[in-house]
Amino acid sequence: MSRLVPERTFLAGKIIFNFGQSSIDCVVRRLSEEAATLEMQSGLGVPDHFQLRLAGRDILSCRVIWRSDRQVGVGFEQPGSVERPTNDGQGRSPDSLMRAQMLALRAALDHVPTGIVLLDDRLRARLINRSFRQMWHLPDQVADSNPSILTLLSHGRDIGAYEVPDPALEAHVKERVRVIEAGDPTPIDVRRTNGDVVRVQCTPLPDGGRMLTYTPVTDIVRFSDELKLLRDALENVQDGVLLLDSDLNASFMNLRMRRFWEVSEEEAATRPAYASLVSRAQRASAPDLAANELAKFPGKRLAEVKAGDHVRDLRTPDGRQIRAHCTTMSNGGRMLTYVDITDLNDKANMLERLATTDPLTGLYNRRHFLSSLDAEWSRFQRYYRSVSVLMLDIDHFKSVNDRYGHAVGDEAIKAVAAACNEGKRKSDLVGRIGGEEFAVLLPETSLSRAKLVAERIRKRAMAIRLNAHQVQFGITVSIGIAEASVSMSGIDALMGAADQALYQAKAEGRNRCIAWTPPPPASRAAE
């Protein structure tokens, strides 16, 4: 057999086993007198012992020392080789054993995804694995020449691999050399111009050398950057955000929420329990909660959050309205968001007032009055509960406008509106139906009780005194009263009945209350 010499090799070979019935094509790398590295499509089908045929050489008996997905490291057992390997290593020189182990180590390190550089005590590379060479596009002739660490770092600078401004490149390389010389094991993330991030760590070796590891962490750093971006965004949103872990301890609390709970950034970092936050100075409670119920609310609120998803409206001691959304997270924790809806509620209430009230008097407008009357009519039909209506009109209102002007007329309308509000009961509803016309809805009120309310309002209106052009004068109102009856077809009939009674009051001299009475039945012909 021709002499095998240690060298970097690239030969075609064939793995033969199963008594010559099976074979696998392979490429032989790093062939020496003792061992070789074989590369094939898959190393899974290679047996522990086989024969290796090389072109122009004898067949060698091999045993597997190590294996990976696509490579196996083998030692030679063929008697024709210079030294016959044995299981216990007897008869082999220390130098040959070292070479075999180094070959196995080098082959193994070539297949890890982490870049590895072994430096001697002079900080010159004695081993550079394939991942490092590919990561930094380092030519084999440079890698195999035992380059210094300065040469390796300068290579990265020269190919523009570092995401460092040109004026700072030299300082960056010098600083990296200083850190490696010092043997500082602190990991450093190096960003590359292609967007990748490599985590570099230096480990001092017992012989004075260094082991440098270059681990790709692009995805980890990207997720970390995205997480930081998300946290920064949550930190500055206008709504309060509180993240609780599965034990309901605060894992994140943004600026708005820290201000709400009066928690410092340092205290928030201690992950306070939600139970302690919700009990803090009664920062928020249920709206319109009785004083004797305040002490119980924190416990109820904690139970709500434990139960999971819900929406709860809260009120702060200074009257702000907060809408809290609780969402259950996949990790068993909770996300609470606090939205200040005070302004929204104020605007909604203002819009509702504009839509339902008369701007001059503040009374309900005609549309809202009729809508409320319709609801009471439904209850009357379903439960036969009494309901009555008063219709009011300011007497001789046209002459007030003509004599004193519309501004004084408006004052008269507002004065009568005030008289209606003062004379009605708490459950009654007053509306301005027309120019000087008003109506009062009296739920669950019979005709006799409605007369009492009407008379009270009439007397209050009669006591009104208005001033115009240094003249003081009074006004009066006429009131028609009607109670719902089963013979009526609906609210139009009820309003019509009260209106008829109002006209009758005016016809009888005004400043009086007249109750509507149904007309007598028509006489039968036989009578």
List, as own/partner pairs, every contact residues 181-190 make where C-beta atoms lie below 8 angstroms and the sequence separation is at least 24, other chains included.
181/123, 183/210, 189/217, 189/221, 190/162
Measure the CA–CA gap between 113 and 99, rounded to whole angstroms: 24
Q: At what angle do helices 406-423 and 447-462 cross, to 10 degrees?
A: 140
What is the per-residue burial (b if ≥16 Cβ within 10 Å, else e) of 459-485?
ebbeebebebeeeeeebbbbbbbbbbe
Could you tell me where the DSSP H helices lie in 138-254? 140-143, 149-158, 169-182, 218-236
User: What are 400's two structure tokens?
Assistant: 């007030």
The Cα-based distances of 343 to 284, 350, 355, 413 in angstroms read 17, 10, 18, 32
Type of residue found at 162: Y
CA torsion through residues 365, 367, 368, 371, sign? positive
Count CB neighbours of 69 within 10 A: 9
Q: At what angle do helices 342-356 and 366-383 cross, to 10 degrees?
A: 90
Measure the CA–CA gap between 173 and 159, rounded to whole angstroms: 13
Positions marked active-site = 436
**Where would I find the beta strands (DSSP E) of 475-519?**
477-483, 513-515
Helix (H, G, I), strand (E, B) or coil at 420: helix
Phi-psi region for residue 315, left (φ > 0), alpha (ψ -120 to 50) or beta?
A: beta
Could you tell me where the DSSP H helices lie in 330-486? 342-356, 366-383, 397-404, 406-423, 447-462
Residue 261, classified by CB atoms within 10 Å of its CB into exposed (0-12), middle (13-18) or buried (19+), is buried
- Which of 435, 407, 403, 432 shows the shortest CA–CA distance to 419? 432
In contact, 364 and 357? CB cutoff 8 Å: yes
Residue 439, classified by CB atoms within 10 Å of its CB into exposed (0-12), middle (13-18) or buried (19+), is buried
Type of residue found at 512: R
Eight-state DSSP code of residue 445: -
**Where would I find the beta strands (DSSP E) of 59-124?**
60-67, 71-76, 115-119
